[in-house]
Amino acid sequence: MLMTKDRRPAFRTIEGWARSVLLEAGTIRECEEHGWMKDRADPYARQRAVDIARGNPPFGVFPDEAAAAVEDVLGSIGDTCPECPPEE
């Protein structure tokens, strides 16, 4: 008898989903040397990410909760890489 397993969601956490939305919208980018995420400080990209989150939230998440998750994740990402030397 053939048994099938339920598929896991593509993202295990709302934070992982929010991070992918931020990358898709161009709001954050990866440090080329160390891999840390950095905020691009682009207000249009930030608004695009919130609009994407509201328009296409993950299953079972309300649009306002999705937008809040995107804002929370973005608030935890700095605009500099913690491993890169400070620019003078």
- N-terminal to C-terminal alpha carbon distance within the chain: 67
CB 19 within 8 A of CB 30: no
Integer angstrom CA distances of residue 29 from 32, 48, 49, 88: 9, 15, 13, 22
Whole-number pLDDT of residue 6: 59
* Confidence (pTM): 0.80
- Nearest-5° angle of CA 63, CA 40, CA 67? 5
pLDDT along the chain (88 residues), means of 10: 58 88 93 90 94 94 95 92 82
